[in-house]
């Protein structure tokens, strides 16, 4: 990991001597979070074509994050950062897990499906997982980390912030759903923020070597 990065970077730097990093996601909620996390890094951020779907054929968050980052790095000819994430509900044997975005047709229906399936359950424990992978063109994995946030599923949606399952996920120790928190609090306590904080130092080192 990281071997040969220096020579690859030189091709991927633009005239301002900054590395170009494509955010390999079509999910606007994720894009906004990464945009904030990366705001003070010496990077030029790009978005991927919104109509380019990478098939998530992996059987784990880690595998899917690798598949997405490699596909977009090769497509764009830049470094690419992908996140594969999802909600794992204990009483549903970890579902929806890696199928979180495919659990129903839209956020409202996905939330309703979880609430219906948990209706009679007193065990509301759940956690979010994020696996983040940064790849370079040529199938090279530069960094990969994961993060987790523990909480419980509420009995009804609460709050208007965020995206996805945020209104029904109450973070342990806060009494608040992700959708009731200010952004800075979700960024700090959330699964993506926790994963990103593990990657921060290594990413700065990689960029320092450019
Ligand atoms: P990309 O693959 O293009 O990034 P996606 O939404 O399909 O977009 P995933 O396959 O990783 O991404 O699925 C993640 C799903 O898990 C996402 O669509 C939400 O339903 C849910 N999810 C992940 N992080 C979340 C968060 O912070 N808040 C609420 N829901 C989240």
* CA gap 121, 140 in Å, rounded: 44
Nearest residue CA, atom 22 of ligand 1?
86
Residue-wise pLDDT tens digits, 142-174: 999 999 999 999 999 999 999 999 999 999 999
Residue-wise pLDDT tens digits, 34-66: 999 999 999 999 999 999 999 999 999 999 999
Which whole number is the average pLDDT over 95-100?
Answer: 98
Catalytic, 35? Answer no
DSSP 199: H
Fold topology of 19-208: Maf protein (3.90.950)
Q: What is the number of other CB atoms lying within 10 angstroms of the CB of residue 172?
A: 12
* CA gap 128, 27 in Å, rounded: 16
* CA gap 18, 41 in Å, rounded: 9
Nearest residue CA, atom 17 of ligand 1?
101
What share of the chain in percent tops pLDDT 70? 92
pLDDT for 83 beyond 80: yes
Contact predicate 179/161, CB 8 Å: yes
| pTM assigned to the model | 0.93
Q: State the closest ligand 1 atom to the C-alpha of 61, by its place in the atom list counted from 1.
A: 11
Binding-site residues, ligand 1, Cβ < 6 A:
25-27, 30, 56, 68, 83-87, 100-101, 128, 162-166, 178, 190
């Amino acid at each position: 990991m990281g071997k040969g990065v220096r020579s690859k970077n030189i091709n991927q730097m633009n005239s301002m001597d900054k590395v170009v990093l494509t955010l390999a996601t079509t999910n606007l909620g994720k894009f906004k979070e990464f945009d904030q996390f990366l705001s003070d890094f010496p990077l030029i951020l790009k978005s991927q074509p919104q109509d380019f779907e990478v098939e998530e054929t992996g059987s784990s968050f880690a595998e899917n994050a690798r598949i997405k980052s490699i596909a977009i790095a090769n497509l764009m000819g830049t470094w690419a950062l992908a996140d594969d994430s999802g909600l794992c509900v204990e009483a549903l044997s970890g579902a929806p897990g890696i199928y979180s975005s495919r659990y129903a047709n839209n956020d409202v229906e996905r939330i309703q499906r979880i609430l219906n399936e948990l209706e009679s359950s007193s065990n509301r424990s759940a956690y979010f997982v994020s696996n983040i992978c940064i790849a370079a063109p040529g199938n090279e994995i530069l960094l990969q980390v994961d993060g987790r946030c523990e909480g419980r599923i509420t009995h009804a949606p609460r709050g208007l912030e965020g995206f996805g399952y945020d209104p029904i996920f109450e973070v342990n120790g806060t009494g608040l759903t992700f959708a009731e928190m200010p952004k800075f609090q979700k960024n700090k306590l959330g699964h993506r923020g926790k994963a990103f904080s593990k990657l921060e130092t290594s990413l700065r080192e990689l960029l320092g070597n450019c």
